Amino acid sequence: MALAAEISSALEEAHHAGVIHRDLKPSNVLVTPKGHAKVVDLGLAKVLHQTGDAAETLSETDSAAGTLPYMSPEQLRGEAVDARTDIFALGGLLYEMITGQRAFRGALASQRIDAILHQSPLPPRALNAHASAELERIILKCLEKDPANRYQSAKEFPWTFGGLPRQVPSRHSDHLQLKRRSGGDSHAQPATLPREFSR
C-alpha cells in the first residue's frame, strides 16, 4: 500500500497548509519513474477560511466542484466542504485500486448521484478476497455519507499504513488510470497499475 500511503501523506500536507484539493481522482495522481505517487492538478483546490489558528470550511458557494464519481455527498448538495471531502475522494480512489470498480456506479449521472447520496458501496472484500478486513474498514470509513463519521483528516489514517500489508493484490480497472511520468516532469502518460495493485 505504499502508493496509498504517499497519496494520503500528500493530502495531509495540503490540509495542514489549509488547502483542500476537491478533485482527487486517478488522473490526478502521477507515478514517478521511481514508483512514487504525486498528487497534481490543484485547479479546483481552495484555501480554507482561517479563524484564528484553525482552518475552517469553505463556503457553500465554493463547494460545488469536482468530478462526479469521486464527489462527496456534501459537494453534491452544494454544502460547505473541508478536508473530509478529500477523505471521501481518497476512499473512492482506494476502493477502485483494490476492487477494479468504482464505489458508486450507474449508467446515468443521476444514478451515480443517487448512489453517492443514498446507497452503501459493496464491501471491497466481496470483489477482492485478498483485501483484509482492516483495509475494508478503512475504505468504508472514508466513504461514510456523514463527514463526522469519516476520518477527520489524512493525519488520522491508520497507516501511513502502519500495520497493514504493503502489497494487496488488486483487480485492474480499465477506467483507473494512474499516470506515470516519463522523460522528466513535463510529460505524464496513463500507466497500468503498479505491481502491488495488479494481478
Distance CA 91, CA 87 (A): 6
Distance CA 62, CA 22 (A): 10
CB-based burial label for 199 (10 Å; 0-12, 13-18, 19+):
exposed
Axis crossing angle, helix 83-99 with helix 2-16, rounded to the nearest 10 = 170
In the three-class reduction of DSSP (H, G, I as helix; E, B as strand; rest coil), residue 65 is classed as coil
Residue type, 172: H
The answer to whether 23 is a known catalytic residue is yes
Structural contact between residues 23 and 41, judged by C-beta atoms closer than 8 angstroms: yes
Distance CA 139, CA 137 (A): 6
Residue type, 101: Q
Q: Which residues carry out catalysis?
A: 23
